[in-house]
Chains A and B, each alone.
Chain A
Amino acid sequence: MKFLVFAALLFSVMTVKAHPVIYKGGTVIYTENSADMNDWSMSYSYHPQLAVGAHYIKEGAVELQFVQQAFLLKRWLFSDSQANIYTTLGAGAERKKNSWTSAEMGEVMADWEDRDYYVLGMQRWIGRHSNAEDPNKIDLWHTKLRAGLAPFRSDTQDLGVWWIVQFDKHNDQNWTTTNLMRFYYKNVLWEVGANLNGSYQLNLMVHL
């Protein structure tokens, strides 16, 4: 049961994965939700390669809260596509019932996209600390792979649609597969989908 909670928690953390760093002065707000969890995050890009943010995750009785710093390590700009590598470091706390312990997060993400396809790979680690109330905590590892396809190209004033398939692996669990439909209009993006176990996922992201 514990592993299922951890797996669901990790799965909940990573579904919408747009660029962690956007244009200078831009703010990203996103939320990911399913039957088992809520995940909220806000980050501000104060430099074209740097963003600072706050992240809140609730899964059952466990809550994780981080402040985080994201870095755009490298961007390649081709004529019709771009590729990026990001890293994010976070420090914060985990609350379970009334017990608080420290927690850390590290993440590396790489993607490539053009107007028709995109691929993404991500590796995340969350370091947790045991205490007397919960002496057997384990660190959380999450690997995510995503591939997307646009059935048609949309202009900036049109509704954009993508089909996305996502593969997740948490610690020693088996890979899970999720199908999502992504919609976006101007500065708002939302995704709806379900994994092969029928668990729904609903995500929203806004650029300000």
Chain B
Amino acid sequence: MKSKLFFGVLFLTSLVFAKPLTGEVHVKVPGMVCSFCVQGLTKVFKKQEAVEQVHVSLEGKFVHLVIKKDQSMDSDKILNLIKDAGYEGQIGEK
């Protein structure tokens, strides 16, 4: 019973904090140092149906996404995709 309650709370918490994002999303990605890094991030996001455009900047150390109209992406999903590329992201202002 306790474990069910725990996982229930965890699930609800994830819904609260996994904010769906629309329009343009800016994610800081520290530690990006080479074009291979950029390629990995670009490939991971180009596979996402909701992503219209992706721009990865080596100089600025960020990923800039344009989400398709009438679609959204969870902030958690964006951060997990960046983890899949081997990095840690911080969603925020430019």
A113 and B59 contacting across the interface, CB-CB below 8 Å: no
B43 and A113 contacting across the interface, CB-CB below 8 Å: no
B40 within 8 A of A: yes
A113 and B30 contacting across the interface, CB-CB below 8 Å: no
The smallest beta-carbon distance between A28 and chain B, in angstroms, is 9
B31 and A23 contacting across the interface, CB-CB below 8 Å: no
The smallest beta-carbon distance between A178 and chain B, in angstroms, is 21
Whole-angstrom distance between the alpha carbons of A18 and B30 in the complex? Answer: 19
Closest residue of chain B to A21, judged by CB?
Answer: B86
Of the candidates A18, A80, A185, the one whose C-beta lies within 8 Å of that of B61 is A80
B36 and A207 contacting across the interface, CB-CB below 8 Å: yes
Of A22, A78, A113, A114, the most chain B CB neighbours within 10 A belong to: A22
Interface string of B31-47 (1 = CB under 8 A from A): 11111101111011000
Known: A24-B44, A25-B44, A48-B84. A77 touches B30 (CB 8 A): yes
B40 and A22 contacting across the interface, CB-CB below 8 Å: yes
Known: A22-B40, A26-B40. A184 touches B85 (CB 8 A): no
A82 and B31 contacting across the interface, CB-CB below 8 Å: yes
B63 within 8 A of A: no
A187 within 8 A of B: yes
B19 within 8 A of A: no
Across-interface contacts of B88 in A (CB, < 8 A): 77
A187 and B36 contacting across the interface, CB-CB below 8 Å: yes
Chain A contacts with B in 72-104, Cβ cutoff 8 A: 72, 75-82
A-B contact list, 7 entries, CB within 8 Å: A79-B61, A82-B31, A82-B33, A115-B34, A155-B58, A156-B39, A160-B34
Q: Closest 5 CB pairs between A and B?
A: A77-B31, A23-B40, A82-B31, A24-B84, A23-B85
Residues of B within 8 A of A (CB): 30-36, 38-41, 43-44, 56, 58-59, 61, 83-88
